[in-house]
């Protein structure tokens, strides 16, 4: 695979990741049901991908590695549920931009838990995100549905930051596909007791959307990202993935006519700029 092909796969994966918010906007299912369906179909698709590559998802993994992946998967379920709650309450733009604040929480977690110092760039990221969130806040009133959606998005970003720090410092022998499979399996098992009644009454059209969300926007997207990382630097991949909110807002504008206002665009530019700045920090290549 050439580098240009890898970059195409990388951008396409970012578009697929960004499009996940559109499902929360278009579907009638609850956020819990959306995540249950997403993870269930992702488990099926990723399992087929892994078997096609002649490496079963459980092959070569120690019990401790599996336990760590399951723990991360349980937290991932909470992240996705809160994200779709953000979409349902505040819309695509506010949900994705609220989630994009996660680098701030990564820096704060590293400071609080790992004792790492805040660098000048971390402070700049923090200030940019705070300024951006201030601009995009619809109203400083917790009774406002859009403000509630933004807060759900920020909570989703905080939970994702926990996963990012966990994965960074607790390495294991799992491949990218194996990691995603086990985490999705854990998330599906956690949510199944809460969503099975709704699943039984879900119309076929909703199941079709869930299949697309799980197989295409999750399993295929992660697989393309993993393959792209074989040819491009991790830092380059991080910069491209930072465009996820931009793609999400653009798609919502194109498909649903959800045009963001001027202050949302300006605040979003600050948040996305902060995420880009965060991704430019020196990192070990993978």
Every domain of the chain and the residues it spans: 3-279
Whether 182 and 73 have beta carbons less than 8 Å apart is answered as yes
CA distance linking residue 23 with residue 16, whole number of Å: 11
Long-range contacts at 115-119 (CB < 8 A, ≥ 24 apart)? 119/281
pLDDT at position 55 is 74
Contacts of 207 (CB under 8 A, 6+ apart): 37
Considering the entire predicted model, what is its pTM? 0.91
Q: How far apart are CA 33 and CA 94, in angstroms?
A: 21
Question: How far is 128 from 272, CA to CA, in rounded Å?
Answer: 9
Which residues lie closer than 8 Å to 43 by C-beta, 6 or more apart?
181, 184, 185, 188, 214
Tokens 């989703």 — which residue?
156
Per-residue confidence (pLDDT) for residue 171, from 0 to 100: 60
The pLDDT, as a whole number, for residue 227 is 83
210 to each of 43, 238, 283, how far by Cα in Å? Answer: 12, 27, 35
String of b and e for 130-157 (b: at least 16 CB within 10 Å)? Answer: eebbebbbbeeeeebebbbbbbbbbbbb
Task: Tell me the mean pLDDT per 10 residues along the chain, length 286.
Answer: 85 94 96 98 92 77 90 96 97 95 88 80 90 91 92 96 79 77 96 96 97 97 87 78 90 92 93 86 45
Q: What is the pLDDT of residue 203?
A: 97
Q: Quick count: other Cβ atoms within 10 Å of Cβ 212?
A: 16
**pLDDT value of position 170:** 63
In order, the DSSP letters of 201-269 are: T--HHHHHHHHHHHIIIIIIHHHHHHHHTTTS-HHHHHHHHTTHHHHHHHHHHHHH--PPPHHHHHHHH
Confidence (pLDDT) at 277: 86
């Amino acid at each position: 695979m050439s580098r240009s092909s890898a970059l195409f796969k990388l951008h396409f994966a970012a578009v697929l990741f960004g499009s996940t918010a559109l499902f929360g906007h278009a579907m009638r299912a609850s956020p819990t049901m959306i995540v249950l369906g997403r993870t269930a179909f992702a488990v099926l698709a990723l399992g087929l991908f892994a078997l096609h590559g002649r490496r079963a998802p459980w092959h070569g993994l120690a019990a401790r590695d599996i336990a760590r992946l399951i723990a991360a998967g349980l937290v991932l379920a909470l992240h996705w549920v809160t994200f779709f709650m953000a979409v349902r309450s505040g819309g695509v733009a506010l949900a994705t931009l609220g989630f994009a604040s996660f680098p701030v929480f990564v820096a704060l977690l590293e400071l609080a838990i790992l004792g790492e110092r805040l660098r000048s760039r971390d402070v700049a990221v923090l200030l940019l995100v705070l300024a951006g969130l201030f601009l995009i806040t619809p109203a400083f009133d917790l009774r406002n549905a859009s403000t509630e959606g933004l807060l759900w998005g920020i909570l989703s970003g905080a939970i994702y930051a926990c996963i990012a720090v966990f994965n960074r410092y607790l390495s294991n022998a799992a491949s990218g596909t194996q990691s995603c499979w086990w985490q999705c399996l854990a998330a599906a098992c956690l949510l199944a007791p809460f969503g099975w009644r709704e699943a039984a009454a879900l119309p076929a059209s909703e199941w079709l959307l869930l299949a697309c969300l799980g197989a295409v926007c999750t399993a295929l997207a992660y697989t393309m990202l993993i393959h792209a990382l074989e040819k491009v630097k991790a830092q380059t991949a991080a910069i491209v993935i930072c465009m996820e909110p931009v793609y999400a807002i653009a798609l919502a504008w194109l498909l649903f006519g959800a045009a963001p206002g001027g202050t949302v665009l300006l605040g979003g530019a600050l948040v996305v700029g902060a995420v880009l700045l965060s991704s430019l920090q020196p990192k070990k290549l993978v």
